[in-house]
């Protein structure tokens, strides 16, 4: 699988944690596989912001997009704005494939 690198900040990390917690709760209600989600949640929680880039695989990218889409749907159902989540979904959908980024 390909490795991707996401430029992370504190807001993005917190959004991932909330989205993955919601995804984990939804999976437990549907009796689905929880181990991959738990491993990804642990990886995001333990991520050090000093590194600036989170390394993920294609499967983890797909899982994060699914969790963010669920969070976005939850916000829209509650009548809240989802602009920040939309921005993060686009960043996750187009990750960098190299660790060296020019910014």
pTM: 0.87
pLDDT of residue 83: 93
Q: Which residues fall within 8 angstroms of residue 56, CB to CB, at 6 or more apart?
A: 3, 4, 5, 6, 64, 95
Give the tokens for residue 91.
């960043």
pLDDT along the chain (103 residues), means of 10: 84 95 91 86 93 90 94 95 94 80 53
């Amino acid at each position: 699988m390909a490795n991707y690198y996401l430029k992370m900040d504190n807001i993005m990390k917190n959004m991932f944690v909330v989205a993955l917690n919601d995804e984990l709760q939804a999976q437990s209600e549907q009796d689905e596989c929880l181990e991959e989600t738990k491993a990804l949640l642990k990886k995001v929680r333990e991520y050090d912001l000093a590194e600036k880039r989170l390394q993920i695989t294609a499967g983890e990218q797909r899982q994060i997009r699914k969790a963010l889409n669920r969070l976005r749907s939850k916000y829209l159902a509650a009548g809240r704005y989802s602009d920040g989540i939309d921005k993060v979904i686009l960043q996750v959908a187009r990750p960098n494939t190299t660790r060296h980024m020019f910014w």
